[in-house]
Amino acid sequence: MNYRPDIDGLRALAIIFILLYHGGMSLIPSGFIGVDIFFVISGFLITSIIHQALLDDTFSFSQFYNRRIWRLQPAFLLVILVATILAFLFFLPPDLIIYAKSASKSTFFNANNYFNKITSSYFAPISQQLPLLHFWSLALEWQIYLILPLIIFALYRTLKHHLIWGLMGLLFLSFYFSWQSALAHPEHTYYLLISRFYEFLMGACIAVLLPKLPRLTRFPAELLSISALTALVWIAGQSNILQGYPNHYALLVCCLTVCLIWLGACGSKQTLTGRVLSSKSVVFIGLLSYSLYLWHWVIFAVVRYQNISETILVKTLMFTFTFVFAYCSWRYVEKPLRRGSSRNVYQTLAFVVCVPIIFTFALSHWVVVHHGLPQRFNQELVDVEQKLETYAYKIRPTCISDKAVDIAPQCRLGAPNSNKTALMIGDSFANHYWGFMDVLGKRAKVSILAHSTSSCLTLPGIYLYDWWHFKDKVYAACHQQTKRYYNLIRKNHFNYVILGQIWPNYYSAKVIHRMGDERSLTLGKKRIAAALDRALNIIVQAGSRPIILDTTAIMEKNFHECFYRHIKQRQPYDSRQCQFNLRLGEGDIWMIRLFQKMQAKYPQLVIIDPKQVQCELGICKADLDGVPVYRDVGHITDYASYHLGTSYALQHANPLTSG
């Protein structure tokens, strides 16, 4: 096909959208649509190349893939090399493990599925610090390169002059599957091939149709091209199109891109839009677009990982380095190494595809085996990792589920062989109290059977509706497992029953007795109070002493950034910089009053509040002897759990020695 400068102009538009969006420019809150523009262009270009070669009877799969590999892989591998060096310099052990796995998945062209698995969303804040996140689209492109040429070849051989009908049939089918995927799993559609295939097929269809489409005269072409370009800019400026993306906005973006490709074929110099897209400066950005895409996110992610404030100066430097690296990459890697496409395809596959796959897989395995190589940092991190490992309860993660299951007999802590027994149930916050209750159990010589159900309010007679990931339905497994817990309490007559929850989280309207119940906060509070009363009554009637484990202080949102910043930047640490004031919300206060009311009704009820030792004088510890209190979104580390339990045992009467 003949070179079209306006296509490079469209690439420039796409990469400008992406750069401004990833750079945090508020004027372009939906600049991610640039990826959709790239996908349509890719579908158009590879179909144009393959279709023309088929018409000329010169098409060769080996030549096609050889050219693609030498066009894309050299700069791609250079960026992975540089990103790997940066990750080894700056990334903490758990983050280096994630990075190494992402590098391996990227060279294997499976990064989109990997990031779909490990991130809650492409737009989640934590995604901003993954240096190879943007490789999801390159992985998806390679998946298309493996599929689309085969489809075009097969359709051409079977349909030949009716190729367009086969492609359009596939287009409508793939759009249907994309639409259904967006409706069923809106939070997991962004990265997936099934959601994006139709975008490439739209480019493929215009490539085959283009010779048969009419050439517009100047005025309608001018009007249509300006309208299409304006509409793309308008969509990029919208802030409400994220849900379920790629959605109908993605379809509109693809249609507008197809329109501009068609109008460009009418003569790129014919319209103002064509002249702008074909101008030397815009085309130059388009020529750099692949390298710009490769480099920009690595730079942005590393800056954000280091918690560097993005001032105007810092952002200017981020964009400057992006363009400098992109130009050098394009000038000295992309352009010269395209000549490698004359080499044997098997040599190309061996050295440019297989060797990187083997190397990154081995690197990933090595990093995982060596626990993220904490020794890269100062001795402090090594000591922290060792303490966390030393105090880790290996069995604890197996004693929590989101299904109705039998409790494994090895889920015990305290004094396992003691005749005095206790049962500890609750949600994941009960699970993070293992160290705390292990200390109390050992000192009181009580054997504690412990099991938790994730995000489950383990009180009898209630359901959680539209809760966690159970959208518009009840969390049935929570209800079923809770029934098992209370049957166990009635049957076994434990000395103690311990209820541990992140109590204020359940202060909501989502607590019901049965499907169809009216829902409100007032009714939710009444149902919680009645369910807790019923739970305590069952426990007391079984001859057990009830113990409520209150919630630890809720973690500050920036805790991990605060605590690990000094390690990443290799600076000394002052524990005061991350401690925080205890704040009780409306749910906390209501729960405290409910517990007091229940204690008045059931005098044998004991309340354990870990905040009494974590937050003395209202100031909450973020670390204990330099070891972080929190391990993730709010759960405490086993080290913190154990040492908070030890502090509690020293300052308060052990509740497991009474009753």
CA distance 420 to 542: 15
Q: Read off the pLDDT band of 633 (50, 70, 90).
A: confident
**Regarding beta strands 545-549 and 606-608, do their DSSP bridges make them parallel or antiparallel, or are they unpaired?**
parallel
Tokens standing for residue 24: 């945090």
CA distance 521 to 504: 13
Can you give the pTM of this predicted structure?
0.84
Out of 155-169, 284-298, 318-332, least confident range? 155-169
Out of 182-191, 573-582, 600-609, least confident range? 182-191
More confident residue, 607 or 576: 607
Q: Please say if the pLDDT value at position 343 is more than 80.
A: no
Measured from the Cβ of residue 155, the count of other Cβ atoms closer than 10 Å reads: 21
Q: pLDDT tens digit string along 61-75?
A: 999 999 999 999 999
> Of 32, 245, 242, nearest to 134 (Cα)?
32
Q: Tell me the mean pLDDT in the region 383-400.
A: 93
More confident residue, 121 or 594: 594
Q: Read off the pLDDT band of 410 (50, 70, 90).
A: very high
Q: Please say if the pLDDT value at position 269 is more than 90.
A: no
Q: What are the two backbone dihedrals, phi and then psi, of residue 495, each rounded to the nearest 5 degrees? A: -70, -35
Contact 199, 249 (CB under 8 A): no
> Of 198, 256, 183, 190, nearest to 39 (Cα)?
198
> Of 256, 270, 170, nearest to 216 (Cα)?
270
More confident residue, 380 or 497: 497
Residue with tokens 């159990």: 441
Contact 112, 137 (CB under 8 A): yes
Helix (H) or strand (E) holding 497, with range, is strand 496-500
Task: Tell me the chain's radius of gyration from C-alpha atoms.
Answer: 30
Q: Please say if the pLDDT value at position 126 is more than 80.
A: no
The residues facing 499 across adjacent strands are: 425, 548
Contact 10, 289 (CB under 8 A): no
> Of 146, 255, 260, nearest to 193 (Cα)?
146
Q: Please say if the pLDDT value at position 446 is more than 80.
A: yes
- What is the CATH class of 394-553+583-615+637-651? alpha beta
Helix (H) or strand (E) holding 100, with range, is helix 93-107
Contact 540, 496 (CB under 8 A): no
Q: Tell me the mean pLDDT in the region 437-464.
A: 97
The pLDDT value recorded for residue 468 is 81
434-444 and 638-651 helices, crossing angle to 10°: 40
The pLDDT value recorded for residue 341 is 63
Q: Please say if the pLDDT value at position 339 is more than 80.
A: no
Out of 25-34, 123-132, 319-328, 418-427, least confident range? 123-132
Q: Tell me the mean pLDDT in the region 85-104.
A: 96
Residues in the chain, overall count:
659
Q: Please say if the pLDDT value at position 101 is more than 70.
A: yes
Residues of CATH 3.40.50.1110 domain(s) within the chain? 394-553+583-615+637-651
CA distance 369 to 321: 34
Contact 513, 390 (CB under 8 A): no
Q: Please say if the pLDDT value at position 270 is more than 80.
A: no
CA distance 569 to 303: 12
- Mean per-residue pLDDT of the chain: 94
The pLDDT value recorded for residue 217 is 84
Q: Please say if the pLDDT value at position 196 is more than 70.
A: yes
The pLDDT value recorded for residue 123 is 67
Q: Read off the pLDDT band of 268 (50, 70, 90).
A: low
The pLDDT value recorded for residue 240 is 87
Q: Please say if the pLDDT value at position 639 is more than 80.
A: yes
Tokens standing for residue 543: 């001859």
Contact 434, 638 (CB under 8 A): yes
The pLDDT value recorded for residue 659 is 62
Q: Please say if the pLDDT value at position 540 is more than 90.
A: yes
Render 334-385 in DSSP notation, one character per residue: IHHHGGGGGS-HHHHIIIIIIHHHHHHHHHHHHHHHTTT-GGGS-HHHHHHH
